[in-house]
Amino acid sequence: MKTEKKMFTKQVKATAVNQEIRMNESMSIKFKLTLSHVLISIIPIAIVAVLLFTNGKDSILEEVQKANLALADQVTEQANLKLDAIDSDSNLFLFNVKIGQLVSRSPEDYDNTFTFIQDRRDNIRTLYVSLNVSKPELKTVAFIKENEIIDYSNIDFINDPSFIENFMASDERTQILESGSQPYWSYGKYDTSDLFLYKTVANVYDMTKPSVMMLVVDPSYLTKILDPEKLGEGAKMSIVDMNGQVVVSSDETLEVGSMIGISQELMGNAMQSIEQSEEEVPHANGSFVTSNQVSSETMVVFKELKNGWMYVAEIPTATIYGGINNMKTQATIIVLFCFVLAVVIGLLLAFNIAKPIDYIRRKMKAVEQGDLTVRSAIKGKYEIGQLSNSFNAMTETMAQIIKETGEITSEVAIDSEELKSIASHSALASKEVIEAVESLSEGATEQAHDSERAVEVIKELVTEMNKTEESFNEVVRVTTRTKKTSVEASSTIDDLNATTTETIVLFNDIKRDMSQLTMQFKEILGIIDMINAISSQTNLLALNAAIEAARAGDAGKGFAVVADEVRKLANQSSEAAKSISAIVTNINTATQKTSNMIESGEAIYQRQEEAAKNTGTTFAEIVKDMDSIIHEVDNVYILLFGLEEIEQKATDSINSIAAVAQQSAAAIEEVLGTGEEQTASAEHLSEMAYKLSQVIEKMDNNIKNFQV
């Protein structure tokens, strides 16, 4: 078995090695040589090209960013100068005393309209015309008052009748007044793309009624400084407010007041630059590259103007990387040329290396078919020559091994026949031993089973005895409880007898008292009869007295009254005596009934006393009988205890017999198992001898296939 496991392990390892070799040989050596040559040639060139392109791209982007920031400084400086110029023009009107007085006056302050119109024309219009000549983008200078507007340009939205009312009610006017003399810039008002500069003009006559000066500037005034061609093809320049809305732009597709595509990201970077600024008055200034909300990757440069607007330049990075892209194309062409050249050189080298290897492969194919006489004709001291020499040595060694193997095979064939005969005899002997041991094993097994059954019978007997013991225990408990109850009942009956005797004595006392009470009732009735007799005599005397008083006439009236009162008292005494007599009679009747009941109760208690005495005697006899039962049960306990000891000894003896039988059976089973293993080994040995003869026969046939 161990030999077979080793052979199986070797086969598995050999299979794994062959699989690994097949995996490594998924490509031909020509292809491997060509590919390695190409990779060695192309990879360094490609790495150099990528590094040059990446570093050049970053460097160019950094330089362009610096240039665009410098250009942003120039553009914002020009824009600030232009905004300052408009602000300076507004100051010409604001600081002109004559114009301030004219704006503060109303038409009612003049004697005639002609003088009013002429003064304004000579001062306000003349100054506006002179400024318009130098700055044609300045469309108008208007003064907005509560009830009129001073303007000389005839602009449509100013001539609108509702313009003054709407402007005076707007939030913008409030913000302008709060700004005071500071410029307030706006744009895109009244459906125009114009720029607006507002300033507050104080009323020199009434400070509570200021007016607003409005300068309207054409957007071309700022778009002239926006030259996106300086940034390259596809670039855009714009001026936006701090919300990202367009003020002016070089891109005609962007409308005034619309949001530029990068407004959200622009505002975020602008706020970040303000927070990071170290200037005393921080301004937004910086750049970033984005691909959001744009058609292609774009560099954005921004800088804040002095009035709060922001210059924004958008430059496609494709324009910046134009030269780099040309270099990339040239590098690609060079890499492709090197690739083709490397492939050609690699193929030539591969064919030169693979040709002698293919020659040796054909020789090995002949060896595979059984021809061990072939030899390689390649000579040399390098790798191919060494491979050729190793091949020749291998074929010679294999031929020698085949010869020796044939001789050994013949000897092993003879030994295998002898081994087969010995294995057959050993198998027959093992079978006979097994049959004898099996017979002995069956007898030991039956003996063990009989012992186990005897133990089970004894255990059942003991179980029944235990149940009997439990029943006796219950009898003892019930008997003890009955004895205790009988003793308690006997004591209770004694108490009952004593109580009954006391009750009889008490009844006799009550009977005697009732007799005395009856005698006293009779005496009371005699006294009541005496009272009735006295009342009758008193009543008779009162009647006689009344008769005598009547005879006496007026002299006997007082005596008649006394006689009448005596008669009434006699009647009341008679009535009271009757009532007392009735009450005493009722009491006497009740007393008589009670006396009769006491006599009946006395008889009952006498019978109860007799029954209690008889019950006490009975309970005393029960207690004696319970003692006898407990004594007999104790004797049964003694017998059961002796029976348990006998059962334990019998069980131990039978268990010993069963253990010996089981040990014998186990030993026989081991002998039987050993015999079966020996028989199996003998049969397996015979089978292996047969297989060995077959292997030897196959080896002999295979050796004959080789040409040595």
Question: DSSP string spanning 573-592?
Answer: HHHHHHHHHHHHHHHHHHHH
pLDDT value, residue 1:
45
pLDDT value, residue 86:
92
What does each C-alpha distance from 533 to 256, 536, 578, 585 come to in angstroms?
150, 5, 12, 19
SS3 663: helix
652, 462 contact by CB (below 8 A): no
225, 303 contact by CB (below 8 A): no
Give the CA dihedral 699, 702, 703, 707, nearest 10 degrees: -170
Instruction: Parse the chain into domains and list their residue ranges.
Output: 70-324, 383-489+669-705, 508-636
pLDDT value, residue 187:
93
Question: DSSP string spanning 86-124?
Answer: HHHHHHHHHT-HHHHHHHH--GGGSSSHHHHHHHHIIII
User: Closest Cα partner for 225 from 137, 289, 284?
Assistant: 137
The span from the CA of 156 to the CA of 162, in Å, is 12
The C-alpha R_g of the chain, in whole angstroms, comes to 73
70-324 — its CATH code?
3.30.450.20
User: Closest Cα partner for 591 from 533, 512, 654, 532?
Assistant: 512
Mean pLDDT, contiguous 10-residue spans, the chain (708 residues): 47 47 53 69 70 64 80 92 93 89 82 81 88 91 90 85 90 89 90 93 86 93 89 88 91 88 88 85 87 85 92 84 64 75 72 74 77 77 76 78 72 67 64 62 64 65 64 66 68 70 71 73 74 77 77 71 74 75 75 71 67 68 69 65 62 64 64 65 67 68 62
pLDDT value, residue 196:
95
508-636 — its CATH code?
1.10.287.950
The span from the CA of 281 to the CA of 245, in Å, is 23
Q: pTM of the full predicted structure? A: 0.44
Cβ neighbours of 38 (radius 10 Å): 19
Strands 138-144 and 149-150: antiparallel
- What residues are paired with 288 via a beta bridge? 300
SS3 139: strand
Cα 144 off chain centre by: 69
